[in-house]
Amino acid sequence: MGQITLENVTKSFGSTEVIPPLDLTIEDGEFCVFVGPSGCGKSTLLRLIAGLEDVTSGQILIDGAEATTTPPSKRGLAMVFQSYALYPHMSVRKNIAFPMRMAKIPAEEQERRIEAAARALNLTDYLDRRPGQLSGGQRQRVAIGRAIVREPAAFLFDEPLSNLDAALRVGMRLEISELHERLKTTMIYVTHDQVEAMTMADKIVVLRAGHIEQVGSPLDLYRAPRNLFVAGFIGSPKMNFIEGEEAARRGAATIGIRPEHIAVSTDSGPWAGTVSVSEHLGSDTFFHVQGTGLAETITVRADGEVGFRHGDRIHLTPRDDVIHRFDEQGLRIA
Amino acid sequence: MATKASRSAARVMMAPAVVLLLGWMLVPLTMTLFFSFKKYLPLRGDSLERGLDWVGFDNYIRFVSSSSFWPSVQTTLIMVGGVLVITVVLGILLAMLLDQPFWGQGIVRILVIAPFFVMPTVSALVWKNMFMDPVNGILAHLWRFFGAEPVLWLSDASLASIILIVSWQWLPFATLILLTAIQSLDSEQLEAAEMDGAPPQKRFWFIILPHLSRAITIVILIQTIFLLSIFAEIFVTTGGAFGTRTLTYLIFQRVVDSQNIGLGSAGGVYAIILANIVAIFLMRIVGKNLDA
Amino acid sequence: MARATSTQRKLGTTLLAWAVGLLIFFPIYWTILTSFKTEAQAISDPPVFLFFDWTLENYSIVQERSDYMRFLWNSVIIAGGSTLLGILIAVPAAWSMAFVPSKRTKDILLWMLSTKMLPAVGVLYPISLIFVEFNLLDTRIGLVIVLMLINLPIIVWMLYTYFREIPGEILEAARMDGASLGKEILYVLTPMAVPGIASTILLNIILAWNEAFWTLNLTAANAAPLTAFIASYSSPEGLFFAKLSAASTMAIAPILILGWFSQKQLVRGLTFGAVK
């Protein structure tokens, strides 16, 4: 079991309020991602749940039981840190065994769980090495192994992939997702990378300045961002925002259209501009179009084979059914 | 990293060290301050039980106006100043020498650092007897070898001799710190200066010396604090005679030899004030370093 | 500098560096050498450097004086005891300051440093009074306490600078893994800080071993360590060179060896982390 509820939780450092009153429930078995730009309070929120920081006011419930003042060691949660935080003076085996040793689990049981975790994480050959002798990805797996063996109510991940190189990151992302499928344990995952959020989450919590901007499934957020911030944050490349006449014509202060929802052509389309930069990724091509009179730059995603170049004049056609409309306050107009 | 629980644990765990040091500082300091305003001559029958006479600032005035005060200040300044100049100048030269590549660096480093680990009483005695003894000392042999009359080091050149002994003890400290500082100098900076056409002396004055300035300041401040309270070297060699009575030694004599506690305590307060003036500068530097 | 130096220049530097090194080391070398001579050879003019009858006689004479061993033992107890006691008090304090820093941490650290600057002679009489009052005069426990107190700021500072290099996340990980505060310090912090703790111990043993104000002024016969033993040689002259050398060699040898191991830490410890 691992349902975590935050009720009216606030956090201040001195006179600075980093988390204004906040309510949130993470259901048992859910993969919940906190995402937001750096300094948005997502890590603080995770540390509040972990018990590494005190809440200033409000309550934290774990499985319905009051846990606001429970010390971290007694909350039954496991955490994977950004720096992995492995114990450098212990072998991999001892690292993984440490939480079980603290919980006084019998030796045979410890051994059994270590073997199982090592098998699942491909660490069997490394059990007697020190963390210093492992690669970044292996260290990450040890940190996860250390979290698994204590069979926690929930896993907390604090930007666990940000120290890995791009290729490893994709691999670990999959491994963590698979782990969640297998264990069905609640996971709370903090990241600033919206791609990680989109690909892994059951539920995404978008935070800005300690506020929850929107909570929902990845596709909810993609399809119906509640405001300009979420609209701009979720999706890559970023959504184009257009103000002025074009927006007013659609009854909004601002309209948003995602790059993948704009068609390009050489001769026809309501908007026209000049390609300033084209980025060829192979599978896709991104065009940055200027001089449309709508916004400084409009980003468009086209098929990888489309070959416009700098200076080419092109026409753009937005898909009207997926244009997002926002009012003066930046809120979505349904 | 900071919950209420961990903060209160931190306070509890810090308490023993803080309480002990607070006691160590306040109790004797208060007593010294108390005695400094009293007439307290145990040999003449003054005692704590019968109560001591309050004499106001008498002791402070008498300590300063005594005929041995100004000479002792002068001796202290010459000694501290002399040792500082010798150790810093030689320390810089030695550090630059040891920073060059040569064969046996490790061993030479060990040789150079060794005097710092010799206990003060041993170095004072070895120098006093085996080197500065006017009959059998090595220096006497050396002087006679060149046909010169051996010097009566500890009576004729007593202050210089003590400066020599103390400098020998502290040169390793200065060298080691300056060497550490030199090694942290980015060699690209020197190479850039070389590319810009700066000759070696210019590179020394405009790059190496400024880079060392912080380390030099620290060496000066720390050594000053230790040198102000130099004791064993004087105690063992001259016992404060022949113009080697420093302020510290004068206070020591007032308290221990002439048993004038009030006067000695007033002197002690002067010494504490003096040390604190130096300490404030040192702490500024160390404190800045804490923020970094 | 990653540049090839000409062999000629390196040879020159080598000669100069060795000459200076040997000159600085000479008094120690001479002391050790003299300790193996007879008293007559020790004062012979011209001095003898190598070709003399090596003898261990001086050592056995010094050794036979039963009190030499007692002085040595006092030094060991006082230096070791004050250091260990200091470590026990300083580890929790340094943990607090390194991992739960508050606005006052810096002030407390600097204040601790300032107690180190208190000139001993200024508080000599009060301390002797307190010692008389508590029957601590000329006792080992008394010196252990005083030397612990004068070195405590250095111990706290050194440990603090070492602890600060340990990432806080690792201690948090231990907390998440269910470790209590005591276990966190015992199983995670201490083993990780072993090198730092070891060099702190080493440097403080050296400082306590060589301390020569309190050890001279607060002891008479029973608790006097080697500093006082050696100081008692200050009256007899000339004829005792070889024995003085033997005693000196025995007094400095252990610390010389420890000292060579701790050169790097020396800089850090004595500059309170201002030079690393």
pLDDT band (50, 70, 90) for residue A323? very high
Those chains having 3 or more beta-carbon pairs within 8 angstroms of chain B are A, C
- Please indicate, yes or no, whether residues B277 and B236 belong to a single structural domain of this protein: no
pLDDT at residue A59 in the model: 92
Does residue B38 sit at the C interface (CB-CB below 8 Å)?
no
Q: Are A173 and A5 in contact (CB under 8 A)?
A: no
* Ranges in chain B, pLDDT < 70: 1-2, 43, 49-50, 289-292
What CATH number is associated with residue B163?
A: 1.10.3720.10
Contacts with A83 from chain C: Cβ below 8 Å:
167, 169
Domain C-terminal end among B242, B261, B279:
B242
Residue-wise pLDDT for B117-126, tens only, equals: 888 888 888 8
> In chain A, which segments carry CATH 3.40.50.300?
4-231
Average of per-residue pLDDT across C226-242: 70
Using a CB–CB cutoff of 8 Å, tell me whether A74 touches chain C. yes
Whether residue C1 is contained in a domain is answered as no
What is the domain count for chain C? 2
Average pLDDT over residues A173-184: 91
Q: Is A242 on the interface with C (CB under 8 A)?
A: no
Work out the average pLDDT over A235-243.
90
**Residue from B3, B4, B7, B8 to probe the interface with A (highest A Cβ count within 10 Å):** B3
CB neighbour list of residue C133: distance below 8 Å, 6 or more residues apart: none
Among A19-23, A77-81, A315-319, B243-247, name the one with the lowest average pLDDT: B243-247
Which among C18, C168, C213 has the least Cβ separation from residue B1? Answer: C168
C176 closest CB neighbour out of A78, A82, A86: A78
Higher-pLDDT residue of C147 and B243 is C147
Residue B3 lies in a domain: no
pLDDT at position C235, please?
A: 62
Question: What percentage of chain C exceeds 90 in pLDDT?
Answer: 11
Tell me the mean pLDDT in the region A277-285. 89
pLDDT winner (highest mean) among A223-227, B37-41, C241-245: A223-227
Domain that holds residue C48: 7-57
pLDDT digits (tens, 9 = 90+) for A23-75: 999 999 999 999 999 888 899 999 999 999 889 999 999 998 888 888 888 88
> Which of A78-82, A321-325, B147-151 has the weakest average pLDDT?
B147-151
Confidence of residue A94 (pLDDT cuts 50, 70, 90): very high
C110 plus C173 within the same structural domain: yes
CATH class of A238-326: mainly beta
Percent of chain C having pLDDT more than 70?
Answer: 89
What pLDDT sits at residue C236? 57
Question: Given an 8 Å threshold on Cβ–Cβ distance, is C258 in contact with B10?
Answer: no
Residue at which a domain ends, from C57, C77, C98: C57
What are chain A's partners, defined as 3 or more CB pairs within 8 angstroms? B, C
Cross-strand bridge partners of residue A190 = A34, A158
**A82 interaction partners in chain C (CB closer than 8 Å):** 169
Range A213-236 average pLDDT: 92
Q: Say if residue B137 is in the same domain as residue B229.
A: yes
Residue A135 has pLDDT above 80, yes or no: yes
Phi/psi zone of residue B172: left (φ > 0), alpha (ψ -120 to 50 degrees), beta? alpha
C176 and C202 in a single domain? The answer is yes
Nearest to C227 among B97, B108, B119 (CB): B119
Range of the domain at B203: 82-242
Here the tokens at position A270 are 């309501």
Residues C47 and C85 in one domain: no
Chain A contact for B8, CB < 8 A? no
Structure tokens at B212: 């060392």
Bond from prior residue into B16 cis (ω within 30 degrees of 0): no
pLDDT confidence of residue C3: 55
Mean pLDDT of all residues in C230-252: 74
Q: How far apart are CA B169 and CA A43, in angstroms?
A: 53
pLDDT greater than 90 at residue A241: yes
Provide the pLDDT for residue C1. Answer: 45
For residue C146, CA distances in Å to A85, A249, B102, C151 come to 40, 85, 44, 9
Segment C42-59, tens digit of pLDDT: 777 677 777 677 778 778
Reported pTM = 0.82
pLDDT at C237 over 50: no
In a domain, B73, yes or no: no
Would you state the pLDDT for residue C87? Answer: 93
Q: Is the pLDDT of residue A19 over 50?
A: yes
Provide the pLDDT for residue A114.
93
What's the pLDDT at B257?
Answer: 78
pLDDT for B171: 92
Q: Are both C150 and C259 inside the same structural domain?
A: yes
> Is residue B160 domain-shared with residue B287, that is, in the same domain?
no
C-alpha distances (whole Å) from C128 to each of C120, C121, C152, C218, C220 are: 11, 11, 20, 7, 13
Q: Are residues C23 and C155 in the same domain?
A: no
Q: What's the pLDDT tens digit per position in A62-71?
A: 998 888 888 8
- Residues of chain A found within 8 Å of residue C175, distances taken between Cβ atoms: 51-52, 71-73
Q: What is the pLDDT of residue B1?
A: 47
* Interface confidence (ipTM) of the complex: 0.81
- Look up residue C116 and give its amino acid: K
Q: Among partner residues B21, B105, B125, which is closest to C112 by beta-carbon distance?
A: B21
Report the distance separating Cα B268 and Cα B270, nearest Å.
Answer: 5
**A145 has pLDDT over 70:** yes
Q: Are residues C158 and C40 in the same domain?
A: no
Same domain membership, residue B222 and residue B101: yes
Residue B204 and residue B223 in one domain? yes
Does C252 lie in the same domain as C192?
yes
Give the model confidence (pLDDT) of C156-201 as tens digits: 988 888 888 888 889 999 989 988 888 888 899 989 888 888 888 8
Neighbours of C76 (CB within 10 A): 15
The ranges of chain A annotated as CATH 2.40.50.140 are: 238-326
Q: Are residues B86 and B203 in the same domain?
A: yes
Least-confidence region, from A118-122, A288-292, A310-314, C48-52: C48-52
Q: Are residues B174 and B97 in the same domain?
A: yes
| pLDDT at residue C231 in the model | 77
Co-location of B135 and B193 in the same domain: yes
Say whether pLDDT at C152 is over 80: yes
My answer on whether B235 and B252 are in the same domain is no
Cross-chain Cβ contact A54/B1 below 8 Å? no
Q: Which CATH architecture has domain A4-231?
A: 3-Layer(aba) Sandwich (3.40)
Task: Tell whether C275 is covered by a domain.
Answer: no
Q: Check whether residue C126 and residue C80 sit in a common domain.
A: yes
Q: What percent of chain A has pLDDT over 70?
A: 100
pLDDT of residue C11: 86
B110 and B121 both lie in a single domain:
yes
